[in-house]
Amino acid sequence: MRFFLKNYFPFLLGLLALLLRVFWGFFPAHCETYYARGIFLSIRKGLDALFSGLPFAAFYLFWASFFVWGAYRLWVAYRARPFGGWKKFYWIQLRASANFVGVIVSLFLGLWGYNYARIPLEEQLNLAVAPLSQEELRAEGALILERVAQARYEIAPLDSFALDSAILPRDLVAHLRTCLEGELAKLGYPHQASFKLRALQPKGLGYGFNASGFYWPFTGEAHIESALHPLQQPFTIAHELAHGYGFGDEASCNFLAYIACKASSNAFVRYTGELAYWRYVFSELKYSDYGYYRYMRDQIDRGVHQDLEAIYAQMQPYFEFVPGLHGIAYETYLQMQGVKEGLDSYDRMVLLVYAWEKQKLIE
């Protein structure tokens, strides 16, 4: 037993971490109380103190360390080439790989991943989330079409040219953090953190993995694609910040990003939130009610149309490194974390916003 513990401790640690994830999957209230609102908050403070002062993204430091470690392991494997026989050699490499996976799994879950098992946001907010009928989705499409046009009119009443970075507010990240923390406080969630949001370099690196942003649990930092159009930045930043405050589910982060943008005192930020929501609603219409989608698409405000064209034009030069790979991998990852909808969970934001607005009308 002592030999086994000595040689396989990291692997066993990973197994224990997975067992705890399974346990909290059955008892989300325990995860909410003891991890999301307890242990994680201490981890959050520790990661912030460790990495937020760096002048560069610790993400790069993580991968530099990984490749140095990988080179070292290859050197060790080379030196250990089969003096004791090939069977022993392969067994040693298998053990090292199993222990490495155990370390990664335990760190991922311990530092952030258990947040996937917390009480779902809709349950905490008592939202009556249900699939929308065709009539309800059509009504939501007409409503957001009007709202997004009105939000843009507040910025540039007579301007039909695409908006650009000149209109971005100063200290955008700090502004959005304040908006998000204010909304989290209203909802009764912990909202103290000082982690950094970093712009990935070089441009297109995030798009290469079909991502406009991500949260890196091993360093506690959020990241966005540096090539994002200014009209995409506020919503994406707020989404990734929401991950950093302890939310794993993509729909929850989309919802929190939307209400954070709506709470902004800046008309441009409010508009980008409505524009992001418009894109999700119309994406649902496109796949479930294409005829009505085409009809509504023809009604779009000229300025909004120009903004969308500018977004698509800015994205055009970039491409996914291995087309389709990220989608398959991330779909698998989300389902392993208990997100049954997989990538479709992003679109579930529409149901959350709809239920939220309906609840506000009732109140």
Residues 182 and 279 in one domain: yes
Sheet strands side by side (includes 221-225): 197-200, 221-225, 213-216
Domain C-terminal end among 82, 98, 117: 117
Based on the domain organization, do 308 and 279 belong to the same domain? Answer: yes
Domain C-terminal end among 117, 152, 180: 117
pLDDT at 343 (0 to 100) = 44
- Average pLDDT, stretch 14-38? 96
- Give the tokens for residue 363: 């109140």
Do residue 136 and residue 201 come from a single domain?
yes
Contacts of 49 (CB under 8 A, 6+ apart): none
Contact 112, 217 (CB under 8 A): yes
Range of the domain at 89: 2-117
Give the pLDDT of residue 7: 76
How high is the pLDDT of residue 325? 56
User: What pTM did the predictor assign?
Assistant: 0.92
pLDDT of residue 79: 73
* pLDDT over 70 at 4, yes or no: no
Please check whether residues 78 and 208 belong to one and the same domain.
no
Percent of the residues in the chain that have a pLDDT greater than 70, as a whole number:
88
Question: How many alpha carbons fall within 13 Å on the CB side of residue 113?
Answer: 19
Lowest mean per-residue pLDDT among 84-88, 133-137, 178-182: 84-88
- Of 53, 87, 117, the one marking the end of a domain is 117
Across all residues in the chain, what is the average pLDDT? Answer: 88
57-71, 77-91, 169-183, range with the lowest pLDDT: 77-91
Interval 305-318 mean pLDDT:
91
pLDDT tens-digit map of 208-252: 888 899 999 999 999 999 999 999 999 999 999 999 999 999 999
pLDDT tens digits along 29-55: 999 999 999 999 999 999 999 999 999
- The stretch 142-164 carries a mean pLDDT of 87
72-85 average pLDDT score: 69
> Could you give the number of structural domains in the chain?
2
Instruction: Tell me what pLDDT residue 167 has.
Output: 79
Note whether 227 and 327 are same-domain residues. Answer: yes
Q: Is residue 338 classed exposed, middle or buried when 0-12, 13-18 and 19+ CB atoms within 10 A define those classes?
A: middle
